[in-house]
Structures are given as C-alpha cells and as structure tokens.
A and B are shown apart, each in its own frame.
Chain A
C-alpha cells in the first residue's frame, strides 16, 4: 500500500553533481498509483501519519532509514541515513542528504526497483518543528532567491544549522536549559541566522559559508541603556553560556557572561 516509486526523483537526483556519492535531494512521498504490498506496511503507515502533519514527539533522537527492495522479491538492503540529514517539509517532500545506491549494490533486485522511505522519527519541542521545516525550505532556495542576486544557501550551512538546532534540543533535554525555538532566516551570503527576541533582549547567531566560527550578536536595553556584545563564538560552551545567561538570567548577569566569554578567549 504505501510503497513509493521514487524513480522520478532519482532521475532528477542523478543529474545533480555528486559530492562523493552523497547529495541533497527532494523526494516526493505519499500514496501513488501502482502500489505494492509490503510486509511492514502498517508500520510504515503509522510512521507516515505521525511524521507528516504535524511532526511531533515520537522518539528521543532523529532517525530515518531507506529500505531498498526489488519489485518482485523479498530481498532488501537497508541504508541508514545520517542522523542529521533529513527533513519533511510542508510540501510533503523528504529532503534527505543521502547516499546514491547503485544498481549493482542491490542484491536480489529484478529489473526495476522501489524505494521505501520509512519516515524518520524526531523529537520536536515548542516550535522547533517550524525551525527544522524552515531550514528544510532553505535547501531548495535557488540562486537569486531573494531577488538581490544571492547565492543558494550553502549545504554546509544547512548541515551546521541542523546540528545547532539538534544541539539546542539536546541541551533542553539533558541540562534543562529552557531554550525557546529560534526564528531561522536565510542570509544573502548563503548562510543561516538564528534569532531570539524577548522584551528588550535580542540574541542572534549566524553560520556563514567557508567559516568555522559562529558569529553572534547580543543586545539588551533592559537597563535603560544599550548593551551590545558582538563577535564570534569559539565553542559550544560559549553558545551555551550565552543562551543560559542571556535568555534565563536577569540583566545583572550579563557582565558575568561577558567576563566568562572574555576570559575563555584570552
């Protein structure tokens, strides 16, 4: 019932330049005609319904896998996608950073073959699903997406952006840091920006192409003046300190944050 034929998507994907043998690809999913009965169809159906609209809490980690099966055989091989490498967007597409599977790698396959996506399961909290989906959209922004001649968003920035979002979720779960979901925006230089704004406080970080650092801006006008901290984060700890002090603490703690960051960077 819910097997999907991804031949069309694959035709498109093969035309793209490959990096190694991995690539970003948008893959349509959903019921199509010419469906095939599969043994675990009910499992797939369950996953489909829970992973589409909306994405919601299922499991503690993100995961997804692609089962590749022959059209008329029970033989199959499975490939697990990299943990951080997929999205489901509002247009019912899976955006996956996946591995090309060549026909000679498919044992037991007769003539043509089918791909089944057992959709990923992902923990999503308080608006983070929107952030993930937005980044999923960024994958498909083409050159001049903003009409200002901007390049497409760099794949590397997409991956780093996803890693940051997942790190934020992990910090929420593991150390109880109540990090709100950020607003995520594409940048004209091909990067991605994350923003948090509450009352008179503002914090943003950005990942940009060909730079290993994360730039930040923290602004606070709560004391009637204007505090601006701006620079590059040197580590995940720096980001965590900023989020902890800037989001959770009163303004009096900002100098403490500044001391920590300054001393760490000496």
Chain B
C-alpha cells in the first residue's frame, strides 16, 4: 500500500463513542487518549475516507475532526499507517497529557453525532 504524506492542512477523523459526548454535544477529552499501553492514537485521514466509514457505519459512534497541523503544534507526530481493512488509517503519536487532550478538544469539531445524542 502506498503511504500518503499528511500535510498540516489535512483533516483527521477520530472515531468517538457515545460515552465521550456530553449533553451539549461537547467532546470529552477522554476521546483523545492514546490506545492502551501505547503512545499512539488511531485516526483516519479524511481525504481517504468518509465520516460514516470512520464511524464503522454504526450509530453509536460519532466522528471528531481536527487538523494534522494542530496535533503537530502539540508535539505530536502524525503519519499515515494504512491497515488491510482501512487504507485511511493514520496515527497521532506522542504523550497526551490532560492539557494536550483538552487542547485537541478545543480545536476539534464534532462532525458526526452518535444517534442517541441527536435531539
């Protein structure tokens, strides 16, 4: 598989569970934790996928979007790491303290709401 270059202006999609969405549709910083026992967080490169695909076409997931450049400003590495079942799969690598996660929240937009969070 080809490895894409991710530019600062590239949008990244992060799949979020309904448990991470507050009543007012604000995202919890819990949504931006690294995968357990790693220093990496999985995202999708937006131009290679759709919000629905990132949400696995399941209604209990939503999607948050942020720019790769925002993550890099927070001392994170961003790179494309496709997997057989998802060519858009990418990684945001780096230690994510509470303040870094909260800053990601502030720079993110919830572009797809889980079904039970829609009013």
User: Interface of A with B (CB < 8 Å)?
Assistant: 134, 137-138, 141, 145-151, 183, 185-190, 193, 195, 197, 202, 204, 206, 215-217, 219, 228, 230
One of B2-10, B16-24, B45-53, B77-85 at the interface: B16-24
Would you call B36 and A215 a contact (CB within 8 A)?
no
CB pair A188–B98 under 8 Å, yes or no, is no
Query: Is B111 an interface position by the 8 A CB rule?
Result: no
Asked if B95 is at the interface of the complex by the 8 Å CB criterion, the answer is no
A164 to chain B, nearest CB (A): 16
A137 to B60, CA, bound (A): 14
Residues of B within 8 A of A204 (CB): 29, 98, 102
**Residue B30 at the chain A interface, CB threshold 8 Å:** yes
Given the complex, which residues of A lie within 8 Å of B97, measured CB to CB?
217, 230
Known A147-B17, A195-B22, A230-B97; further 6 A-B contacts with Cβ < 8 A: A185-B19, A188-B30, A188-B35, A195-B28, A204-B98, A219-B99
Determine which of B19, B29, B41 lies in contact with A186 in the assembled complex, contact meaning CB atoms within 8 Å: B19
Q: Is the CB of A189 within 8 A of B33?
A: yes
Find chain B residues with CB under 8 A from A202 CB. 102
Residue from A188, A189, A193, A195 with most neighbouring chain B CB atoms (10 Å) = A188
Most buried by A among B22, B26, B28, B42: B28
Among A149, A185, A216, contact of B20 (Cβ-Cβ < 8 Å)? A185
Interface string of B76-106 (1 = CB under 8 A from A): 0000000000000000000001110010000
User: Are A185 and B28 interface neighbours, CB within 8 A?
Assistant: yes
Which residues on B sit within 8 Å (CB–CB) of A137?
19
Indicate which residue in B15, B37, B98 contacts A206 across the interface (CB closer than 8 Å). B98
A204 CA / B98 CA spacing, docked (Å): 8
Chain A residue numbers with a CB within 8 Å of B26 are 197
Q: Report A-chain residues with C-beta under 8 Å of the C-beta of B29.
A: 193, 195, 204, 217
Given the known A-B contacts A146-B17, A148-B42, are A190 and B28 also in contact in the complex, defined by CB atoms under 8 Å?
Answer: no
* A148, B33: Cα distance in complex, Å: 10
Chain A CB within 8 A of B61 CB: yes
Measured CB to CB, the nearest residue on chain B to A134 is B19
Query: What's the minimum C-beta distance from B88 to chain A, rounded to whole angstroms?
Result: 15
Shortest CB distance A186–B (Å): 5
CA of A189 to CA of B22, assembled, Å: 20
Min distance, Cβ A226 to any Cβ of chain B, angstroms: 9
7 contacting pairs across A/B (C-beta < 8 A): A141-B19, A148-B35, A149-B36, A188-B33, A195-B29, A215-B98, A230-B97
Closest residue of A by beta carbon distance from B105: A202
**Once bound together, how far apart are the Cα atoms of A189 and B10, in whole Å?**
28
**A91–B84 Cα gap in the complex (Å)?**
37
Provide the residues of chain A in CB contact with B108, threshold 8 Å. Answer: none
CB contact between A217 and one of B34, B41, B98 (< 8 Å): that residue? B98
Q: How far is the CA of A204 from the CA of B32 in the complex (A)?
A: 14
> Are A217 and B99 interface neighbours, CB within 8 A?
yes
**Given A147-B15, A147-B61, are A185 and B30 also a contact pair (CB < 8 Å)?**
yes
Q: Which of A137, A190, A195, A216 has the largest number of chain B CB atoms within 10 A?
A: A195
- Indicate if B115 sits at the interface (CB-CB under 8 A): no
| Contact call A193/B99, Cβ cutoff below 8 A | no
